[in-house]
Amino acid sequence: MDIQVVDTPLGRYRDDAVVVFAAQGEKITKTVGSAGRDFRGGYATLVADAAFTGEAGQVRTLSARKTERVRTLVLVGLGEASATTGESIRHAASSGVRAARELGARSVTLVAPSGRGPTFRVDAVAEALVEGSIQGLYRFETYKAKPSKDGIDRISVLVAPASAGRARRGAREGQVLGDAVTFARQLGNEPGNTATPTFLAEQAAIIAEEGGLDLRVLEEDDMRKLGMGALLGVSQGSVEPAKLIILTYEPKKRSGKRPETIAIVGKGLTFDTGGVSIKPSAKMEDMKFDMCGGAAVLGAMKAIAGLKVGVRVVGLVPASENMCGAASYKPGDILRAMNGTTIEVRNTDAEGRLILADALAYATSKMRPRPKAIVDLATLTGACVVALGDGHGAVVSNADPLAAELLEASKASGDALWRMPINDIYRAQLDSPYADLSNLGTPGAGTLTAAAFLEKFTGDVPWAHLDIAGMAWTQKKTGHFSTGATGFGVRVIARFLQTRGA
């Protein structure tokens, strides 16, 4: 995608389509008029008929004669000006470019909306417009005999000359983030028979090559030597070999202090049948998305390489299938994780915490220098979908400052998070009569007992867990959503690391 920032006055501007944004009650008659004479009458009629009010999500298109400089005008509502957020601008941009694409435009210009407050800072607006457009145009068509013929290959953001420099910086950031999120969405949408642990390791190699990252992939033999009995236990029922992907980003040396290291860990369970504790058939196909935490880590690593953040980041993805067969691990089996903890398997469907256990133990005990913080992302529990639905991912953390940083990054990035508690009430629910720990909590608060389980493998490193089970994929088709993987987590992690390294 070709992305550019332009500052030519709209009246002299030529493009296939122009998108104009309006908040409720905002007067955009002048902007509409300068886009082309033909649009004035149509716009006046839409307003008179209350067919365009600027309500959030409203999209109206107007066409002009071939002789006009701009053929298609797309009007997109932003909703109430005071309630506008970066995320609502992203959704609006997505809707706008999609409408333009439907009318055959190959090249689209978005007129940067203006307004009061930090949301309307021109760099933030340009970031949101570009990221939203890239996300809105993403389609998963890899396996379609006839991929769509329409397509947009250039997006321009139109701003006032004085703000072009700042807008350019924002647009570049939006492009990096948009590309990283769509990369994660593509990985998530790939079916389980393509997206195997080996495939994820290959994709990590592509990111490493592009972004100048260091890549190390631990094979099952390496895992055995390290004593990763929990990850190996989950994987033993599968013919696909497990991988532990480790990507390292080194910031450019800056004079002064050594940059701190942050570890991010993502559940890369490439298909979750539930194992011997098998899942019901209905919706089991959705369990191809059980690697979306891992995809978010890979996407975030791609993003931070593009954004050149100031911290050292290690991204770890334990990747495995969870299958049921003659070689599978069974309820009652006792596994020994890398940190020596023994785990009684009460339910083979609670496998995510097992593969994460060894990756977390590796991050806290093997990495040098030791990480200053660990954040993990996982489609970990159905209970999280019950608790928060598709409105928020859960943050569970034993480190208040880290949780606060993530919530801040959540607001700024559009990846919505809500904090949930962890304390001795939940920690006490993992006792096993036979081993150090059970992989199943007592009934209730499944998200929190799962988090309490993970915590046992994080040593004394400040840690936060993001349960993204309700957010990783969607049926929605509005705004920047399309059916399938959302790339949730890439943006909040990228923003968190950007702020850490600032």
Q: Which of 168, 312, 353, 456 is flagged as catalytic?
A: 353
Please state, in angstroms and rounded to a whole number, the distance separating the CA atoms of residues 398 and 400: 6
Q: Residue 15 interacts with ligand BES (CB under 6 A)?
A: no
- Choose which of 88, 379, 398, 482 interacts with ligand BES (CB under 6 A): 379
**Which residue among the candidates 69, 166, 279, 372 is catalytic per the annotation?**
279
Q: In 3-state terms, what secondary structure has residue 151?
A: coil
User: Which partner, ligand BES, Zn ion, none, binds residue 382 by CB below 5 to 8 Å per kind?
Assistant: ligand BES
The angle formed by the CA atoms of residues 248, 252 and 254, to the nearest 5 degrees, is: 130
Burial of 104: CB neighbours in 10 Å, binned 0-12, 13-18, 19+: middle
351 binds ligand BES (CB under 6 A): yes
Give the tokens for residue 469.
């089970």
CB distance 195 to 41 below 8 Å: no
CA distances from 266 to 316, 319, 352, 419, 493 (A): 6, 9, 10, 19, 11
In whole angstroms, the minimum distance from the beta carbon of 220 to ligand BES comes to 21
- Cα R_g (the chain), whole angstroms: 24
By CB neighbour count within 10 A (0-12 exposed, 13-18 middle, 19+ buried), where does 65 fall?
A: exposed
Contact between 469 and ligand BES (CB under 6 A)?
yes
Residue 94 binds ligand BES, judged by CB under 6 A = no
- Known catalytic residue: 353? yes
Any contact of residue 272 with Zn ion (CB under 5 A)? yes
DSSP alpha helix (H) spans, 389-435: 400-413, 424-427
Q: How far apart are alpha carbons 183 and 302 in whole angstroms?
A: 9
Q: Quick one: 362 exposed, middle or buried, by C-beta within 10 A (0-12, 13-18, 19+)?
A: buried
Note whether 376 binds Zn ion by CB under 5 A.
no
User: Cα 177–182–164 angle (5° rounding)?
Assistant: 35
What is the total count of residues that contact Zn ion (CB under 5 A)?
A: 6
Interactions with ligand BES, residue window 281-310 (CB under 6 A): 290
**Where does this chain touch ligand BES (CB under 6 A) — which range of 105-113, 311-319, 334-342, 348-356?**
348-356
Asked if 98 is an active-site residue, the reply is no
> Which candidate, 365, 344, 346, places its Cα nearest to that of 459?
365
- 347 interface partner picked from ligand BES, Zn ion, none, CB below 5 to 8 A per type: ligand BES
Residues in contact with ligand BES, shown as a per-residue x/- string from 100 to 139 under the rule CB under 6 A: ----------------------------------------
Least spacing, CB of residue 288 vs ligand BES, in Å: 11
> 72 is in the binding site of which of ligand BES, Zn ion, none (Cβ under 5 to 8 A by kind)?
none
Q: Could you say which of 218, 373, 383, 464 contacts ligand BES (CB under 6 A)?
A: 383
Interaction between residue 352 and Zn ion (CB under 5 A): yes
Measured from the CB atom, the residue of 32 and 380 that comes closer to ligand BES is 380
Looking at the annotation, which residues are catalytic?
279, 353
Chain residues that interact with ligand BES, rule: CB under 6 A: 272, 290, 347, 349-352, 379-383, 385, 440, 446, 469
